[in-house]
Amino acid sequence: MDRSDCKQQRILHIKNMVCPRCIKVVREELESIGLPVFEVELGKATVCASVDVREETIRDVLYKNEFELLCDSKSELVEQVKLAVIDLIYQDKLPLLNTTVSTYLAAEFMKDYATISSTFKALEEMPLSRYILLQKIERTKELLEYNQESVSQIANRLGYKSVQHLSAQFKEITGVTPLRYRNAGGPARKPIHQLKD
């Protein structure tokens, strides 16, 4: 179906989309249930609402692929914040920020950081600052496993002011230092959309 043939469009806000493969899977799964899909990007899909597909069917097809349909503004905000944090960390944008992550997020979502942070904590049951730290540690594990950069280079890539700060946080979370993790292993990496304390 062409976009111009659709009388009404709908944006589906979807939790746990974190990579290009997620975009492909969401598109394929929504189309498999007969829902015309016009656009899919991280966190959302634009579909034709004129086609009669039950909400429960959409939820089920997303759920079987570990995605979740979001239906309220607070959940949507939290998911958008998660995607913004992942983008900052995994696209190496942290060293380029001329401000703090909290100031960046407040400007990005046009809300004060206290509102963003309290909403995040209420829904995710962990402080936003802790979520950011856990994402940084998972990214560090990934980079250590590639074994192509020094710990100092990794610290710079993740916006740390010193190797010691990264090492201290890494050991607090994993129980081992970055060098020990690189040489002898440590706790396995976790999917970035499932990070919890």
Residue 18 sits in a domain whose CATH number is 3.30.70.100
- Residue 18 to residue 89: CA distance in whole angstroms: 12
Q: Domain residues for 114?
A: 74-194
Say if residue 127 is in the same domain as residue 185.
Answer: yes
Domain count of the fold of the chain: 2
**CA–CA dist 187, 185 (Å, integer):** 7
Convert the pLDDT of each residue in 161-194 to its tens digit: 999 999 999 999 999 999 999 988 777 777 777 6
Q: What tokens were used for 78? A: 């939290």
Q: What percent of the chain has pLDDT over 90?
A: 71
Instruction: Judge if 15 and 80 occupy the same domain.
Output: no
Q: Are residues 59 and 93 in the same domain?
A: no
pTM for the structure as a whole: 0.77
Report the mean per-residue pLDDT for the chain: 90
What's the rounded mean pLDDT across residues 2-18? 86
CA distances from 84 to 18, 80, 164 (A): 10, 6, 26
Residue 129's pLDDT band, with cuts at 50, 70 and 90, is very high
The pLDDT of 54-72, averaged and rounded, is: 91
Q: Is 177 exposed, middle or buried (0-12, 13-18, 19+ CB in 10 A)?
A: middle
Regarding whether 41 and 134 lie in a shared domain, the answer is: no
The average pLDDT across 44-54 equals 87
Q: Are residues 116 and 19 in the same domain?
A: no
For residues 120 and 4, the model is more confident at 120
Q: Do 87 and 180 reside in the same domain of the chain?
A: yes
**106 pLDDT band (50/70/90 cuts)?**
very high
Residue 53 clears pLDDT 90, i.e. is over it: no
Residues 111 and 146 in one domain: yes
